[in-house]
Amino acid sequence: MAGKRVGGRYADIGAAYFVADDVDFAEQVESWRARDLARPWTDTFKVFPEGRDARGPVRWAAAGGLRGLAVDLARGLDVRLSTRVDSVPEDADAVVLAMPGPQALRLSPPPAIASAASRQTWRPVIAAVLTYPDRSWASLPGAFVNDHPVLATVCDDGDRRGDGAPVLVAHSTARLAAAHLDDPAAAGPVLAGAVGDLLGLSASPRIEVHRWTYAQPEVGDASPYATDGRVWLCGDAFGRPRVQTAWLSGRAVARALLG
Protein backbone atom coordinates (compact mmCIF):
# COMPACT_ATOMS: atom_id res chain seq x y z
CA MET A 1 0.00 0.00 0.00
CA ALA A 2 2.51 2.53 -1.23
CA GLY A 3 2.43 5.72 -3.22
CA LYS A 4 4.96 7.58 -5.34
CA ARG A 5 4.73 11.35 -5.60
CA VAL A 6 4.77 12.34 -9.26
CA GLY A 7 3.89 15.81 -10.52
CA GLY A 8 2.44 16.98 -7.21
CA ARG A 9 0.19 13.95 -6.61
CA TYR A 10 0.60 10.47 -5.24
CA ALA A 11 0.11 7.50 -7.56
CA ASP A 12 -0.59 4.09 -6.10
CA ILE A 13 2.39 1.88 -6.98
CA GLY A 14 1.87 -1.04 -4.61
CA ALA A 15 -1.41 -2.87 -4.19
CA ALA A 16 -3.73 -1.80 -7.00
CA TYR A 17 -6.83 -2.08 -4.79
CA PHE A 18 -8.25 -4.18 -1.98
CA VAL A 19 -11.35 -6.29 -1.46
CA ALA A 20 -13.23 -6.84 1.79
CA ASP A 21 -15.00 -10.18 2.09
CA ASP A 22 -14.08 -10.81 5.73
CA VAL A 23 -16.67 -9.51 8.20
CA ASP A 24 -14.17 -7.85 10.54
CA PHE A 25 -12.11 -6.28 7.77
CA ALA A 26 -15.31 -5.06 6.13
CA GLU A 27 -16.10 -3.24 9.39
CA GLN A 28 -12.71 -1.53 9.23
CA VAL A 29 -13.36 -0.59 5.61
CA GLU A 30 -16.73 0.91 6.51
CA SER A 31 -14.94 3.08 9.05
CA TRP A 32 -12.65 4.33 6.30
CA ARG A 33 -15.58 4.95 3.98
CA ALA A 34 -17.50 6.87 6.66
CA ARG A 35 -14.53 9.22 6.96
CA ASP A 36 -14.05 9.54 3.18
CA LEU A 37 -10.71 7.70 3.32
CA ALA A 38 -11.77 4.80 1.08
CA ARG A 39 -14.41 4.31 -1.56
CA PRO A 40 -15.82 1.50 -3.71
CA TRP A 41 -14.00 1.74 -7.02
CA THR A 42 -15.08 -0.91 -9.53
CA ASP A 43 -16.25 -4.49 -9.87
CA THR A 44 -15.20 -4.77 -13.52
CA PHE A 45 -11.73 -5.18 -15.01
CA LYS A 46 -10.79 -5.66 -18.63
CA VAL A 47 -9.06 -8.90 -19.52
CA PHE A 48 -6.55 -8.89 -22.36
CA PRO A 49 -5.73 -10.11 -24.95
CA GLU A 50 -9.47 -10.75 -25.43
CA GLY A 51 -10.48 -7.23 -24.38
CA ARG A 52 -13.52 -8.58 -22.55
CA ASP A 53 -15.02 -7.28 -19.30
CA ALA A 54 -14.70 -9.51 -16.24
CA ARG A 55 -16.98 -8.94 -13.25
CA GLY A 56 -15.71 -9.71 -9.77
CA PRO A 57 -15.81 -8.46 -6.21
CA VAL A 58 -15.94 -4.75 -5.51
CA ARG A 59 -12.44 -3.32 -5.55
CA TRP A 60 -11.82 -0.49 -3.11
CA ALA A 61 -9.57 2.50 -3.62
CA ALA A 62 -8.66 5.66 -1.70
CA ALA A 63 -8.81 9.24 -2.92
CA GLY A 64 -5.65 10.01 -0.97
CA GLY A 65 -3.93 6.82 -2.09
CA LEU A 66 -3.88 3.50 -0.26
CA ARG A 67 -0.88 4.67 1.77
CA GLY A 68 -3.26 7.03 3.56
CA LEU A 69 -5.05 4.05 5.11
CA ALA A 70 -1.80 2.88 6.70
CA VAL A 71 -1.24 6.41 7.97
CA ASP A 72 -4.73 6.34 9.49
CA LEU A 73 -4.04 3.05 11.29
CA ALA A 74 -0.84 4.52 12.72
CA ARG A 75 -2.44 7.62 14.25
CA GLY A 76 -1.59 7.92 17.94
CA LEU A 77 1.38 5.57 17.70
CA ASP A 78 5.04 6.43 18.17
CA VAL A 79 6.23 5.72 14.63
CA ARG A 80 9.89 6.31 13.80
CA LEU A 81 10.80 6.39 10.15
CA SER A 82 14.20 6.13 8.43
CA THR A 83 15.62 4.20 11.38
CA ARG A 84 18.07 1.46 10.50
CA VAL A 85 17.46 -1.90 12.20
CA ASP A 86 20.16 -4.56 11.81
CA SER A 87 18.97 -7.27 14.18
CA VAL A 88 16.08 -8.38 16.36
CA PRO A 89 16.42 -6.53 19.70
CA GLU A 90 17.38 -8.91 22.47
CA ASP A 91 15.94 -6.78 25.30
CA ALA A 92 12.44 -6.33 23.89
CA ASP A 93 9.51 -8.15 25.48
CA ALA A 94 7.97 -8.68 22.06
CA VAL A 95 9.05 -7.98 18.49
CA VAL A 96 6.72 -8.05 15.49
CA LEU A 97 8.26 -8.31 12.04
CA ALA A 98 5.57 -7.23 9.56
CA MET A 99 7.59 -7.76 6.41
CA PRO A 100 8.46 -10.31 3.73
CA GLY A 101 10.32 -13.34 5.04
CA PRO A 102 13.52 -12.64 3.04
CA GLN A 103 13.78 -9.23 4.70
CA ALA A 104 13.16 -10.72 8.14
CA LEU A 105 16.03 -13.15 7.57
CA ARG A 106 18.43 -10.20 7.30
CA LEU A 107 17.73 -9.47 10.98
CA SER A 108 19.01 -12.88 12.14
CA PRO A 109 15.70 -13.85 13.83
CA PRO A 110 15.32 -16.84 16.18
CA PRO A 111 15.29 -20.29 14.54
CA ALA A 112 11.50 -20.70 14.53
CA ILE A 113 11.05 -17.39 12.75
CA ALA A 114 13.94 -18.03 10.38
CA SER A 115 12.40 -21.37 9.44
CA ALA A 116 9.00 -19.79 8.69
CA ALA A 117 10.60 -16.93 6.77
CA SER A 118 12.73 -19.26 4.65
CA ARG A 119 9.63 -21.18 3.53
CA GLN A 120 8.15 -18.09 1.88
CA THR A 121 8.47 -17.62 -1.87
CA TRP A 122 8.20 -14.13 -3.34
CA ARG A 123 8.10 -12.79 -6.90
CA PRO A 124 9.44 -9.37 -7.95
CA VAL A 125 7.47 -6.66 -9.75
CA ILE A 126 8.43 -3.35 -11.31
CA ALA A 127 5.76 -0.66 -11.20
CA ALA A 128 5.78 2.10 -13.82
CA VAL A 129 3.85 5.34 -13.33
CA LEU A 130 3.02 6.67 -16.80
CA THR A 131 1.88 10.32 -16.97
CA TYR A 132 0.39 11.33 -20.33
CA PRO A 133 -0.39 14.78 -21.77
CA ASP A 134 -4.12 13.97 -21.63
CA ARG A 135 -6.57 11.12 -21.17
CA SER A 136 -6.64 9.54 -24.62
CA TRP A 137 -7.81 6.03 -23.74
CA ALA A 138 -11.27 4.55 -23.48
CA SER A 139 -12.86 3.94 -20.10
CA LEU A 140 -10.57 1.53 -18.29
CA PRO A 141 -10.61 1.25 -14.51
CA GLY A 142 -8.09 -1.57 -14.69
CA ALA A 143 -6.99 -4.54 -16.73
CA PHE A 144 -5.46 -7.96 -16.24
CA VAL A 145 -3.05 -8.82 -19.05
CA ASN A 146 -2.70 -12.57 -19.51
CA ASP A 147 0.19 -14.41 -21.15
CA HIS A 148 2.10 -11.21 -21.89
CA PRO A 149 5.92 -11.31 -21.76
CA VAL A 150 6.34 -8.04 -19.82
CA LEU A 151 2.95 -6.68 -18.69
CA ALA A 152 0.73 -8.10 -15.91
CA THR A 153 -1.74 -5.33 -14.99
CA VAL A 154 -2.64 -1.77 -15.98
CA CYS A 155 -4.72 0.57 -13.80
CA ASP A 156 -6.12 4.01 -14.53
CA ASP A 157 -4.82 5.90 -11.51
CA GLY A 158 -6.90 8.97 -12.30
CA ASP A 159 -10.04 6.85 -12.25
CA ARG A 160 -8.88 4.94 -9.20
CA ARG A 161 -8.10 8.10 -7.26
CA GLY A 162 -11.13 9.96 -8.64
CA ASP A 163 -9.22 13.06 -9.77
CA GLY A 164 -9.15 12.28 -13.49
CA ALA A 165 -5.38 12.62 -13.79
CA PRO A 166 -3.96 11.25 -17.07
CA VAL A 167 -1.93 8.61 -15.25
CA LEU A 168 -1.71 4.88 -15.83
CA VAL A 169 0.18 2.52 -13.53
CA ALA A 170 1.57 -0.66 -15.04
CA HIS A 171 2.88 -3.67 -13.13
CA SER A 172 5.37 -5.96 -14.80
CA THR A 173 5.56 -9.70 -14.97
CA ALA A 174 7.93 -11.35 -12.51
CA ARG A 175 10.11 -12.39 -15.44
CA LEU A 176 10.68 -8.83 -16.62
CA ALA A 177 11.28 -7.62 -13.06
CA ALA A 178 13.83 -10.35 -12.36
CA ALA A 179 15.76 -9.30 -15.45
CA HIS A 180 15.84 -5.64 -14.35
CA LEU A 181 16.33 -5.75 -10.58
CA ASP A 182 19.78 -4.16 -10.91
CA ASP A 183 18.53 -1.48 -13.33
CA PRO A 184 14.77 -1.00 -12.86
CA ALA A 185 14.74 2.27 -14.81
CA ALA A 186 15.52 0.31 -17.97
CA ALA A 187 12.21 -1.51 -17.59
CA GLY A 188 10.23 1.75 -17.74
CA PRO A 189 10.32 2.28 -21.52
CA VAL A 190 9.59 -1.43 -22.05
CA LEU A 191 6.44 -1.20 -19.92
CA ALA A 192 5.40 2.11 -21.49
CA GLY A 193 5.74 0.60 -24.96
CA ALA A 194 3.69 -2.43 -23.97
CA VAL A 195 0.92 -0.23 -22.53
CA GLY A 196 0.90 1.93 -25.64
CA ASP A 197 0.56 -1.13 -27.87
CA LEU A 198 -2.16 -2.61 -25.67
CA LEU A 199 -4.34 0.52 -25.53
CA GLY A 200 -3.42 2.06 -28.87
CA LEU A 201 -1.73 5.12 -27.38
CA SER A 202 0.59 7.24 -29.53
CA ALA A 203 1.65 9.85 -26.94
CA SER A 204 4.89 9.36 -25.03
CA PRO A 205 4.40 9.44 -21.26
CA ARG A 206 6.64 10.64 -18.50
CA ILE A 207 7.92 7.49 -16.80
CA GLU A 208 8.71 6.85 -13.13
CA VAL A 209 9.50 3.35 -11.91
CA HIS A 210 9.68 1.56 -8.57
CA ARG A 211 11.29 -1.80 -7.93
CA TRP A 212 9.51 -4.27 -5.66
CA THR A 213 12.00 -7.07 -5.00
CA TYR A 214 9.49 -8.83 -2.75
CA ALA A 215 6.12 -7.96 -4.24
CA GLN A 216 3.94 -11.04 -4.55
CA PRO A 217 4.11 -13.94 -2.12
CA GLU A 218 2.98 -17.39 -3.04
CA VAL A 219 -0.08 -18.53 -1.09
CA GLY A 220 1.22 -19.31 2.41
CA ASP A 221 0.33 -21.36 5.44
CA ALA A 222 -3.16 -21.25 6.91
CA SER A 223 -1.73 -19.95 10.20
CA PRO A 224 -2.05 -16.14 10.45
CA TYR A 225 1.52 -15.72 11.75
CA ALA A 226 4.67 -17.46 12.96
CA THR A 227 6.08 -17.01 16.46
CA ASP A 228 8.48 -18.43 19.01
CA GLY A 229 6.57 -16.69 21.81
CA ARG A 230 8.62 -13.47 21.77
CA VAL A 231 9.24 -12.71 18.10
CA TRP A 232 6.38 -12.70 15.58
CA LEU A 233 6.36 -12.73 11.78
CA CYS A 234 3.20 -11.63 9.99
CA GLY A 235 1.95 -10.15 6.74
CA ASP A 236 0.28 -10.99 3.46
CA ALA A 237 2.30 -14.18 2.97
CA PHE A 238 0.11 -15.86 5.62
CA GLY A 239 -2.82 -16.76 3.39
CA ARG A 240 -3.93 -15.39 0.03
CA PRO A 241 -1.67 -12.44 -0.88
CA ARG A 242 -4.08 -9.60 -0.28
CA VAL A 243 -4.32 -6.37 1.72
CA GLN A 244 -7.06 -8.01 3.77
CA THR A 245 -4.75 -10.93 4.60
CA ALA A 246 -2.08 -8.56 5.89
CA TRP A 247 -4.62 -6.75 8.09
CA LEU A 248 -5.99 -10.00 9.48
CA SER A 249 -2.49 -11.33 10.13
CA GLY A 250 -1.45 -8.21 12.03
CA ARG A 251 -4.65 -8.19 14.05
CA ALA A 252 -4.15 -11.85 14.98
CA VAL A 253 -0.69 -11.03 16.33
CA ALA A 254 -2.08 -8.07 18.29
CA ARG A 255 -4.80 -10.23 19.84
CA ALA A 256 -2.29 -12.89 20.81
CA LEU A 257 -0.01 -10.31 22.42
CA LEU A 258 -2.83 -8.58 24.29
CA GLY A 259 -4.22 -11.92 25.42
pLDDT category of residue 175 using cuts at 50, 70 and 90: very high
Residue 8: predicted pLDDT: 86
For strands 151-156 and 167-172, give the pairing.
antiparallel
Q: Both 126 and 252 in a single domain? A: no
Q: Both 136 and 250 in a single domain? A: no
Is the pLDDT confidence value at 150 over 80? yes
- If phi > 0 it is left, if psi is from -120 to 50 it is alpha, else beta; for residue 82 that is left
Q: Both 212 and 129 in a single domain? A: yes
Q: What is the secondary structure of 10-77 as a DSSP string?
A: EEE-S---B---SHHHHHHHHHHHHTTS-EEEEEEEEEETTTEEEEEEEEEE-TT-THHHHHHHTTTS
Which tens digit of pLDDT belongs to each residue from 201-248?
A: 999 999 999 999 999 999 877 899 999 999 999 999 999 999 999 999
Average pLDDT, the chain: 96
pLDDT category of residue 85 using cuts at 50, 70 and 90: very high
Q: Both 15 and 62 in a single domain? A: yes
- Say what the pTM is: 0.94
Which tens digit of pLDDT belongs to each residue from 99-134?
A: 999 999 999 999 999 999 999 999 999 999 999 999
Report the C-alpha gap between 39 and 32 in whole angstroms.
8
Q: Both 164 and 60 in a single domain? A: yes
Report the C-alpha gap between 151 and 254 in whole angstroms.
37
Range of the domain at 47: 3-70+122-217
Q: What are phi and psi of 254, to 5 degrees?
A: -60, -45
Residue 222: predicted pLDDT: 82
Number of domains observed in the structure of the chain:
2
Whether residue 171 lies inside any domain: the answer is yes
Sheet holding 231-234, edge to edge: 95-98, 231-234, 226-227
Q: Both 252 and 131 in a single domain? A: no
Q: Both 134 and 253 in a single domain? A: no
Q: Both 126 and 116 in a single domain? A: no
Whether residue 169 lies inside any domain: the answer is yes
Q: Which of 127, 237, 236, 235 has the alpha carbon at shortest distance from 172?
A: 127
Q: Both 127 and 102 in a single domain? A: no
Is the pLDDT confidence value at 192 over 90? yes
Alpha-carbon distance values, 6 to 71, 209, 241 (Å): 19, 10, 27
pLDDT (mean) for 141-167? 96
pLDDT (mean) for 156-183? 97
- E-assigned strand segments in 49-166: 52-61, 95-98, 122-131, 142-145, 151-156
Q: Both 107 and 213 in a single domain? A: no
CATH code of the domain in which 211 resides: 3.90.660.10
**3-class secondary-structure state, position 7:** coil
Is the pLDDT confidence value at 7 over 90? no
Whether residue 76 lies inside any domain: the answer is no
Q: Both 134 and 170 in a single domain? A: yes
Report the C-alpha gap between 215 and 39 in whole angstroms.
24
Which tens digit of pLDDT belongs to each residue from 13-72?
A: 999 999 999 999 999 999 999 999 999 999 999 999 999 999 999 999 998 899 999 999
